[in-house]
Amino acid sequence: MNTPANSPVKDRMETLRQALHHHNFLYHVQDNPEISDAEYDRLMQELIALEKAHPELQSPDSPTIRVGAPPLAVFETTAHSLPMLSLDNAFVVQDIIDFDSRVKKTLQIQDAVLYTAEPKMDGVAVELVYEDGKLVMASTRGDGMSGEVITDNVKTIRSVPLQLQVGSIEGRLEVRGEVFMDRRGFDKLNRSREESDLPVFANPRNAAAGSLRQLDSSITAARPLDMFIYGTGLTSGLNSDSHSDVLNRLASMGFKVNPLIHPCLTLDQVLEFYRELEESRSSLSYDIDGMVIKVDSLRYQTMLGEKARSPRWAIAWKFQAIQGTTRIQAIEVQVGRTGVLTPVAHLEPVRIGGVSVSRATLHNEEEIQRKDIRVGDTVFVERAGDVIPKVVKVITEKRDGSEIAFRMPATCPACGSQTIRSSLENSDKLESALRCFNVRCPAQLKENIIHFASKRAVDIEGLGDKLAAQLVDAGLLTSYADIFRLTIEKLLTLSRMGQKSAENLISAIEKSKTIPLNRFLYSLGIRHVGENIADILARKWGNLNTVMQQSPESLSAVEGIGKTIAESIYGFFSNPGNREILDKIQESGVEILSGPAIVHHRLEGKSFVLTGTLPNLTRNQAKDLIEAAGGKVTGAVSRNTTYLVAGEAAGSKLEAARKLGTEIIDESALMKLLAKDGT
């Protein structure tokens, strides 16, 4: 098919190439991206599709046939013995099924192919070169053919061995891995940069890249960098027949290999592990943006070979994005249940992680000033798991002068009372948050009702944000005690409230009238009392009346409860108005179950992973029982896992446990562990 030289298709392809080159440079060289990874992927996929449809318009300098970006001129460069290729991307299940079909077709086999699945680290690819067991050079991926020499900087990373352990091979060994920065280190680094009036990094990946490109290695040494090894380049004497065996060999030499790597998986197990990995993503201490799937057999890898840009034996299955770029349309101030005024950005809707995001928290006025956030700014927005979306960074290059600075109001937007910034405990400084101290502020009451009825608190199904606001505005709720005095007749006075909806809400309220002590304490919305503190109180004193009688001194004597929290708890329960509300709740037939959240400590210090369908317990029930005995439940098997509790149709977690030598038990064995007189 011949396309006219001045066709719209050709113009679009050239526009995409220029844009991708520009964003490659910003991302890989300047460490200062203007668009999110998801937006970059969309541009790249569009160009790939157009080049496939119009091969006559392919260009030798297209970003689709290059990897990364050219090395920085200030660094010495070195050629890679073997190219450091990029990976093709997959976004949906069908992409992985198609990949498996292509592998089998190329290999001309029908039997199942085994894969190794690895978390896709959101870091910087680096190659390490060893001669006779000693580190002699480290370089970035660069353009795939050659990279920047960063040996002195990489030597500052404590997880990178300078001398290999016993079992290393003689001659040359090239290993490849991902340098990254964990979230805690990233947050600490950005806070330090903010205090020094330096620009913050958009994400841990860019912070890691910037740290590796320091001309002064002492700066790199001060950064919290880490490295996981994922493969090799050129080697001499490393004889192995599988990728998973290579990783085991490298681990025995002293290299750090990600403990979440799952070897020898069938296609179905790969699909299940992806779901598990995505579910546990937000609980990890570092960022991952997907899963890498590799054919495990090295013989098969050789037979499959490579394309110009990527190997045919591996693919990267991307998670849905957690970052996106959008524009701040307005900033609104909301009043929370403790009276704190929180600025919230109203955004041009952007899809992040499969969800349309139109609002993001700005935390407080200090945060706005520190990041210089203005109405009209183009910004990076991040959404991780259930965490409220937040503005990470302003893209100042996008400003055109029409942006408007924001200032917090002097009065409460809900009731008009003057706002106050309180003094910090034992300090002359003021806290960051502005507060409204009007106890009758309707905004605080609405937020208290919403919190009280939430799933992790009293759990009243159907009593959400809109209905809570409607009930407060109608005068039917003046405190959360009034919830238990609602009737169908009262509810029917509300607009758009039908008979069936009213009956369902009253039924849900009746079901919620029996509640464990720890959840009830959490539901009260006491300042500084989250789920953890509520559990501590329930474990220590066992019933509501005893908790209410504690002095600030007896409260602060408990491990985990400091002076500030103790005074907050004491202040709440010594307030006559709060006492009256608690009396009304119990008079309404609410039963607050006595007894500690943790019944005994039989499983303290032990870590559990649940998989498959248990015969009598749901996973949540099993989790509650384990945690009530002091144990911990995690989402993925690792070397720190004490037991895997396996039920029917157990998946890849079972295989991972076997590989790691983790003890595998069933529901019956779990119940014996839980028994007070068990061993």
Catalytically annotated residue among 10, 52, 104, 120 = 120
Residue 200 token pair: 């913050």
Q: Does domain 323-438 have CATH number 3.40.50.300?
A: no
Stretch(es) of the chain classified as CATH 1.10.287.610: 8-65
Respond yes or no: is residue 120 known to be catalytic: yes
**pLDDT computed for residue 134 by the predictor:** 87
What value does the mean pLDDT take over residues 453-479?
Answer: 92
Which structure tokens are listed for 534?
Answer: 């509520």
The Cα–Cα gap between 550 and 545 comes to: 9
- Does 631 score more than 90 pLDDT? no
Cβ neighbourhood burial of 412 (10 Å; 0-12, 13-18, 19+): buried
For the segment 364-391, what is each residue's pLDDT rounded down to a tens digit? 888 899 899 999 999 999 886 556 788 9
**Three-state SS at 648:** strand
Mean pLDDT calculated for residue range 22-47: 80
Amino acid 99 reads F
- CA–CA distance, 180 with 122 (Å, rounded to integer): 7
Q: What is the pLDDT of residues 240-252, one digit of tens each?
A: 899 999 999 998 8
- Range of weakest confidence among 55-64, 239-248, 286-295, 460-469: 55-64
- The residue that leads in pLDDT, 312 or 75, is 312
Q: Which residues belong to CATH 2.40.50.140 in the chain?
A: 323-438
Whether residue 620 has pLDDT greater than 80: no
Question: Residue 331's pLDDT band (boundaries 50, 70, 90)?
Answer: very high
Mean of pLDDT values over 318-323: 83
Q: Which residues pair with 380 in a beta bridge?
A: 325, 393
179's CB contacts (< 8 A; 6+ apart) are: 123, 124, 126, 154, 157, 208, 212, 225, 226, 227
> Residue 544 has what pLDDT?
93
Burial label, 493 (beta-carbon count in 10 A; 0-12, 13-18, 19+): exposed
Section 575-579 average pLDDT: 87
Does the predicted model carry a pTM greater than 0.85? no
Residue 295: per-residue pLDDT: 97
Is residue 146 predicted with pLDDT exceeding 60? yes
pLDDT on residue 31? 62
**Residue 177, pLDDT score:** 97
pLDDT band at 282 (very low <50, low <70, confident <90, very high): confident
pLDDT at position 217 is 84
Per-residue confidence (pLDDT) for residue 421, from 0 to 100: 82
Q: Which residue spans of the chain are classified as CATH 3.40.50.10190?
A: 607-674
Q: Which segments within 213-370 are labelled E, that is strand?
A: 225-235, 262-265, 288-295, 314-318, 323-335, 341-352, 355-361
Contacts of 519 (CB under 8 A, 6+ apart): 456, 457, 458, 459, 534
What confidence tens digit (pLDDT) does each residue in 384-441 have? 655 678 898 899 999 999 999 999 999 999 999 888 887 665 556 777 889 887 767 8
Higher-confidence residue of 355 and 115: namely: 115
pLDDT of 597: 46
pLDDT at 325: 93
CATH class of 8-65: mainly alpha
Classify domain 607-674 by CATH architecture: 3-Layer(aba) Sandwich (3.40)
CATH 1.10.150.20-classified regions of the chain: 442-593
pLDDT above 90 coverage of the chain, percent: 49
Q: Is 502 in contact with 462 (CB distance < 8 Å)?
A: no
Residue with more model confidence, 278 or 96? 96
Tell me which residue of 585, 547, 546, 539 sits closest to 566, measured CA to CA. 547
Upper half-sphere CA count for residue 350 (Cβ side, 13 Å)? 30
Over range 179-183, report the average pLDDT. Answer: 94
Instruction: Provide mean pLDDT across the span 600-611.
Output: 84
The fold of the 77-318 domain, in CATH, is D-amino Acid Aminotransferase; Chain A, domain 1 (3.30.470)
At 127 the pLDDT is 97
* Residues 44, 64: Cα–Cα separation, whole Å: 7
**Total residue count of the chain as it appears in this document:** 679
Write down the pLDDT at residue 679: 39
pLDDT score at 600: 58
Which superfamily does CATH assign the domain made up of 442-593 to? 5' to 3' exonuclease, C-terminal subdomain (1.10.150.20)
DSSP per position, 514-537: EEEHHHHHHHTT-TT--HHHHHHH
Q: Of 65-79, 141-155, 473-487, which gets the smallest average pLDDT?
A: 65-79
Query: What are the C-alpha distances in Å from 326 to residues 362, 440, 503?
Result: 15, 37, 42
Q: How confident is the model at residue 559 (pLDDT cuts 50, 70, 90)?
A: confident
Judge whether 63 and 24 are in contact, CB under 8 Å: yes
pLDDT the model gives residue 21 = 80
- pLDDT tier at 595, thresholds 50, 70, 90: low
pLDDT of residue 677: 45
